[in-house]
Every structure is written in C-alpha cells, then in structure tokens.
Chain A
Amino acid sequence: DTAVSQTPKYLVTQMGNDKSIKCEQNLGHDTMYWYKQDSKKFLKIMFSYNNKELIINETVPNRFSPKSPDKAHLNLHINSLELGDSAVYFCASSQARYRNTEAFFGQGTRLTVV
C-alpha cells in the first residue's frame, strides 16, 4: 500500500508543452512538498503546502504552479516547458509543519523535455 504516490513515473514531452504531475498521500499528513532533483542529483525544495495553503514558494519560475485540491493531493502543473526543466520531481509529505516529523517521498517523476 503506497504511502506517497506520483503519476506519471516517466514523462517525455516537447518544449513549449504544458504538463501536470499528480501526487497523492494516504498517510493523513497535513503537509506536502515538491522537490526537484537536478542532473547532479542535488535535491532542492520547490513548494510546500499545509492544509491546502501554500507555505513555501522557493525561487521557482511562475511557469510552475502547484495546486492542492485537498490535504491528500498536491499536483504540479508546468507551463511552456523548457529544456532546463528536465529533472526528477519528487513529492513528499510529513505530518505537520514546524514539527519533529519524518518526511516520506514518492518514487519520483522523471521529466525529459526534448
């Protein structure tokens, strides 16, 4: 029974297209995150949502728009895809903000922009 699940696992698309990545967690957590892992395998936070409210918005181009329809879901929509957006995107969740809580990650979505 997967705790944090992302779809799709792989996404290959052309420059200029718009695409979405979906994330769902069944852990009952309040906080969800999007992380990006670049070609050098470095992981960096993009967004954080708590109870459907945007909490963290790092310096991410506004072509990236997260949407949280409810506490269990956090989707990432990307407009006008660029070559530099190619990366692995990870969704994560944890029980609450500003707490000593463990983070759980999805399996990642490998986005390739051609």
Chain B
Amino acid sequence: KQEVTQIPAALSVPEGENLVLNCSFTDSAIYNLQWFRQDPGKGLTSLLLIQSSQREQTSGRLNASLDKSSGRSTLYIAASQPGDSATYLCAVKAMDTDKLIFGTGTRLQVFP
C-alpha cells in the first residue's frame, strides 16, 4: 500500500532563505509526482509535475527533484518570500490504482 510522508510538518523562516521540503513514498510504481500549494481556505494549485522518467523540473524559483528508486522527492524554493507562505502538498499517481495519493503536507511560513 502506497504511503506518502512529508517532512517537516511545519517550517517558519525569514524571507530570503533557500528552503528544502521533503516528500517520501513507499512504492516506486508511480506515473508521476505532483507538488501542490494550498493557501488557507483555498483550493490546490499545481506547482510542478515530475514524470516518473524525469529527475527534476523547474518553474521560476521552484525546483523539484525525483529519485524514484529511493522513493524521494524534494521541493527546493529559492530566495523565499512572504508570499510563499502556504501549505505544500506532494502527491504520487499510483500505477496500480490510478489514484493520486497525498502526503500530509508541510505548512510554510515566511516572515519579513
């Protein structure tokens, strides 16, 4: 059974810092891994999608890597800003069930 874990659960940093959010999964049989952002009381915004055959994806200040064999992904946020404050969720799309299985999330606060 696929399980997805995110570390840390919460993070509070001053703006300008470079951040690393971690996501681990137990079954490497995945189509892809997706990183989302959720603002309080809002929906999910897709940030990056990494296909199972890829090693990383970049979008602006965000860089996500994937090591499928070790069941790990990291989301790197460069030069963090207060506007980056949100909950970050990773999710894997499982091959056997076609479901998106979500991690527990990392709640990020960037203060000025």
Contact = CB atoms under 8 A, between A and B. Distances in A.
A58 to B, nearest CB: 8
B89 interface: yes
Q: Is the interface of B mostly helix, strand, loop or mixed?
A: strand
- Give the residue among B34, B45, B102 with the most A Cβ atoms within 10 A: B102
Interface in B79-112: 87, 89, 91, 93, 95, 97-102, 104-105
Contacts of A44: 102
Which residue, of B49, B98, B99, has the highest number of chain A Cβ atoms within 10 A? B98
A62 B46 CA distance: 31
A33 to B, nearest CB: 7
A108 B43 contact: yes
A43 B102 contact: yes
A98 B95 contact: yes
A111 to B, nearest CB: 14
A41 B49 contact: no
Contacts of A110: 41
Contacts of A35: 100
B51 interface: yes
Contacts of B42: 107-108
A64 interface: no
A45 B100 contact: yes
Interface of A: 31, 33, 35, 41-45, 48, 55-56, 90, 92, 97-108, 110
Interface of B: 31-32, 34, 36, 38, 41-46, 49, 51-52, 87, 89, 91, 93, 95, 97-102, 104-105
